[in-house]
């Protein structure tokens, strides 16, 4: 069974759009379970992937700039 070329192109475009639609959170692993992310939202998104509770290691006001050090316990 042969698929029409337009159907193949459409399926390829949908697959490519699905891969590029959501970006992965930027995370650096420091060792001993300590992680660093540039924003608070990326840190929360990373721990949410595993369903693990999150604990910030640095006391910073919400929305402050800079790298956030945390653990996913």
Residue 11 lies in a domain: no
Residue 58 lies in a domain: yes
Instruction: Decide if pLDDT at 3 tops 80.
Output: no
CA gap 24, 55 in Å, rounded: 20
What pLDDT shows up at residue 61? 75
Residue 51 lies in a domain: yes
Residue 17 lies in a domain: no
| Tally of structural domains, the chain | 1
CA gap 66, 60 in Å, rounded: 9
Question: Which residues constitute the domain of residue 64?
Answer: 24-72
Tokens of 1: 């069974």
Q: Which residue would you say has higher pLDDT here, 18 or 68?
A: 68
What does the pLDDT look like over 16-57, one tens digit per residue?
Answer: 665 555 556 688 888 888 999 998 888 888 899 888 898 999
- Only one residue has tokens 């029409």, namely 4
Residue 60 lies in a domain: yes
């Amino acid at each position: 069974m042969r698929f029409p070329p337009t159907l193949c192109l459409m399926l390829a475009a949908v697959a490519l759009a699905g891969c590029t639609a959501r970006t992965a959170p930027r995370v650096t692993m420091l060792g001993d379970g300590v992680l660093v992310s540039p924003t608070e939202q990326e840190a929360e998104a990373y721990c949410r992937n595993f369903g693990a509770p999150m604990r910030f290691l640095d006391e910073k006001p919400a929305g402050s700039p800079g790298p956030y050090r945390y653990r996913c316990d």
